[in-house]
């Protein structure tokens, strides 16, 4: 289960800037391998820019703190995204996006 709160920090006719906080609650069964049993916290900010009616660009950055279950050493990571969306018809929007997130588990040493 994820609880989230988003605040519209700025809004004009062409630009929207949101700030979001999320908490992933440890509701899945760790014993059944469905979750880590730990709480994760996420902070992110997103911006949406309407270039013309029906065409928008968006981008965002975020930070996630992972709760470490026993036997794991998850790293806290930064993430980012960017993309475009186009409203082709009133009931259809198409788009493309690029998402990036750092590795949660540190890279292992190369094998000899």
pLDDT in tens, 29-39: 777 877 888 89
Residue 109 is predicted with a pLDDT of 54
The total number of structural domains in the chain stands at: 1
Residue 73 is predicted with a pLDDT of 84
Residue 110 is predicted with a pLDDT of 53
Nearest to 76 by CA among 40, 37, 35: 40
For residue 111, tell me if it sits in a domain.
no
**What pTM was estimated for this model as a whole?**
0.82
For residue 75, tell me if it sits in a domain.
yes
Host domain of residue 57: 2-101
Residue 35 is predicted with a pLDDT of 80
For residue 76, tell me if it sits in a domain.
yes
For residue 51, tell me if it sits in a domain.
yes
For residue 64, tell me if it sits in a domain.
yes
Residue 108 is predicted with a pLDDT of 56
Residue 97 is predicted with a pLDDT of 98
Which residues in the chain show pLDDT less than 50?
111
For residue 65, tell me if it sits in a domain.
yes
């Amino acid at each position: 289960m994820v609880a989230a709160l988003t605040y519209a920090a700025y809004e004009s006719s062409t630009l929207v800037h949101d700030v979001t906080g999320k908490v992933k609650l440890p509701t899945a069964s760790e014993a059944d391998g469905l979750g880590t049993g730990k709480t994760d916290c996420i902070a992110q900010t997103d911006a949406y820019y309407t270039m013309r009616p029906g065409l928008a660009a968006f981008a965002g950055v975020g930070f996630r703190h992972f709760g470490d279950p026993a036997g794991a050493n998850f790293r806290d990571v930064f993430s980012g995204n960017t993309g475009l969306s186009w409203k082709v018809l009133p009931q259809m929007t198409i788009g493309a996006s690029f998402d990036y997130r750092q590795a949660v588990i540190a890279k292992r040493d190369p094998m000899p």
